[in-house]
Amino acid sequence: MKERLVESWLSKINERGYGITFCQILASKGYRVIRYGHSSIELGKDVLAISPQGDVCAYQLKSGDVSLADVTKHIEQLQMLVATHPVHPGLPSTFVYRVFFVTTGDFKDPAIALIKELNAKWRMHRWPEVQTIGGRDLVTDLIAMSSDFWPTEAPDMRAFLELHLARGRGDLDIGKLARLLRQIVEGKGSARDVERRSAAANIFCSYALGGFYATDDHWSIFQGWTVCASTIGYMGESFEVPKDSWMPSFTLAKEGAMNALRLLSEEALCDGAFIVQDREIDQYTRVRNTTALAATAAYMLIAADRVTAANRFKPLALIAQFIERDRLVFWGEGAFSQFAMLIWFLESFGLQEPASILLQTLLSTVVSSNAPGSLNPLSDPYSNADECLVNMIKAVENNQPSPRRKSVYSYSLLPIVTLLARRDLRSVLEDHWKAVSQVRITWFRPEKPAGMLLWRCESGSEQDGGFDQPQSWDELRKYACRDDRERLPSLLRDDFEFGLMFMLAFPHRISVSLTKLLDEKLCSLAKTENTMA
């Protein structure tokens, strides 16, 4: 059964969908993966790795069976693969160069014959020969790596099959994926055990995301890989083992999330990307606008040193236009992380005024919606965008507020007030303070910092409080600027890129500590960039 499932997955997956898995196979064999990515600048080298013997190995990844026509179609890429030596700061100054053509299917006999003839020609130039790796080789490696962690209990197996068989169109059950991955990584052991568990987490995450690669559902892929990386990081921080036993797998999962975020950004910036093709409910359109632009903003912040000012102009103009036209929506308290990305991105380009307007709008929305006894408070951050959208639609259809007053707390108000105080927007807070001080605030505090990395953490507690009335401005500023990063897991303290990705993918982990840390880093970068400009 295991073999049939793996074969089925490989038969449907494209080259982007199994790239992380292939890198994990290499890592399990002692290879050190230097680079992974699909783009025209890679010159046919989708994966670059150093073997245990010190050879530099380059791999071109394809999917499906490879026929004579396929080899002919890819000859230019193969030529670049063999003829150009890779250049990367992680490579030794001199090395033996080896190249591989990898596919999830079979190499047909005519294709193998042509590759042999090409190799004979390339040997005359003293270029390396192309070696082939087919689907049968991949199945063998994947079964060997994942068999010890394959679900054996009926409920676990059913959950795995449901994830594996998802349509791949926005139907990723992220909570179910998180539970599966946690089951894989749990259980203390040696450094070797941790290495194997982290590798298995990536393998099973690849199985779960196969359908989403087929439909280019980049947002689900981003969330899935971020949860996988976070789960691996939780294991690494919870167990007393060397960091290098789990960090390679964490890095691969993070790279998978980063690639998805980049592709989503590219898709959002295509001409006409936000034009509504069919009739749809306006709330749905605005939720999609907000999510897509927040993901784009996050990628631009993460890849700031790789994105030119000219390339950032279009998303900046789009965000400013959508703010002006009221085409974004604070769909629930889980949207705080998305709006934080938009605010930070605007500020990174010196657009403090629209960023300030957006932040003030958040304050007004939260204090008015979550006032004591509110009839229609914002959905809490444990409700995802789809669930919040359903509630919004029901409210519109009923055309009446809920007849029952509710006990209301806010998860996002404290971070919003903190951001305003850090920007010295005292007058804004003074104008709203009476309403602000009436809203009860709440937050989740895990028993140990590492628990924050889990999608669902049982060891912790919900805590609540409120603001003083009156409130000392000096005390509020002191709190807003206080460094309390020690409350965060070291993974979020030390990895700025992953901190942004985590905040976007884990909307229910609203944390004033993480908000402060990222705000400090981004404000510092913005000041440096604007000074240089």
Question: Are 290 and 211 in a shared domain?
Answer: no
Q: How confident is the model at residue 187 (pLDDT cuts 50, 70, 90)?
A: confident
* Residues 115 and 179 both lie in one domain: no
Q: Where are the alpha helices (DSSP H) in 456-511?
A: 473-481, 490-494, 496-505
Minimum mean pLDDT range among 316-325, 491-500, 523-532: 523-532
CA neighbor of 445 nearest in space, from 457, 428, 429: 457
Please give the structure tokens belonging to residue 312: 């950032």
Least confident range from 91-100, 202-211, 238-247: namely 238-247
Amino acid, single-letter form, for residue 285: T
Q: What pLDDT does residue 2 have?
A: 86
pLDDT confidence of 404, banded at 50, 70, 90?
A: very low
Of 268, 292, 318, which marks where a domain is finished?
A: 268
Summarize the confidence of residues 127-140 as an average pLDDT.
96
Total number of domains in the chain: 3
**Number of other CB atoms surrounding residue 348 within 10 Å:** 22
Is the pTM of the predicted complex or chain greater than 0.85? yes
Q: CB neighbours (10 Å) of residue 152?
A: 7
Give just the sign of the alpha carbon dihedral 369, 370, 371, 373: positive
> Rounded to whole angstroms, how far apart are CA atoms 372 and 381?
18
pLDDT score of 279: 75
203 shares a domain with 296: no
Give the model's pLDDT for residue 295.
97
Looking at every residue in the chain, the average pLDDT score rounds to 91
Report pLDDT for 41.
Answer: 56
Q: How far apart are CA 193 and CA 245, in angstroms?
A: 9
Q: What is the pLDDT at residue 473?
A: 96
Domain end position, chosen among 268, 293, 315: 268
Give yes or no: residues 121 and 191 share one domain: no
d(CA 54, CA 32): 9
- Whether 187 and 223 map to the same domain: the answer is yes
Per-residue pLDDT tens digits for 448-488: 999 999 999 999 999 999 999 899 999 999 999 999 999 99
Residues 133 and 238 in one domain: no
Range 479-501 average pLDDT? 95
Higher pLDDT, 330 or 191: 330
The domain boundary residue, chosen from 129, 147, 165:
147
pLDDT reported for residue 282: 86
Q: Which residue has the higher pLDDT, 479 or 523?
A: 479
Q: Are residues 108 and 197 in the same domain?
A: no
Q: Are residues 224 and 352 part of one domain? A: no
Of 105-109, 309-313, 379-383, least confident by mean pLDDT is 309-313
Tell me what pLDDT residue 301 has.
95
Domain with residue 76: its CATH number is: 3.40.1350.10
Q: Tell which residue, 381, 383, 378, has the closest CA to residue 364.
A: 378
Alpha carbon distance 185, 241 (integer Å):
13
Predicted confidence (pLDDT) at residue 401 exceeds the cutoff of 60:
no
Residue 257's pLDDT is what? 97
Cα–Cα distance for residue pair 106/273, rounded to 1 Å? 37
Mean pLDDT of 129-137: 96
Residues 13 and 111 in one domain: yes
Whether the per-residue pLDDT at 528 is higher than 90: the answer is: no
pLDDT tens track for 85-126: 898 888 998 999 999 999 999 999 999 999 999 999 999 999
Q: Where are the alpha helices (DSSP H) in 29-173?
A: 68-73, 75-83, 109-124, 135-146, 154-164
Looking at the structure, tell me whether residues 50 and 171 fall in a common domain: no
Q: Averaged over 295-313, what is the pLDDT? A: 86
> Are residue 375 and residue 490 in the same domain, yes or no?
yes
45 neighbors 8 (Cβ within 8 angstroms): no
Direct distance between the N- and C-terminal alpha carbons of the chain, in angstroms, rounded to an integer: 60
Residue 42: per-residue pLDDT: 62
3-state secondary structure of 217: coil
Average of per-residue pLDDT across 412-436: 96
Q: Let me know: does 198 contact 246? Beta carbons within 8 Å.
A: yes
What pLDDT is attached to residue 38? 66
CB 302 within 8 A of CB 261: yes
Angle between helices 191-214 and 174-185 (to 10 degrees): 160
Same domain, 238 and 354: no
Give the whole-number percent of the chain exceeding pLDDT 70.
95
Range of the domain at 264: 151-268
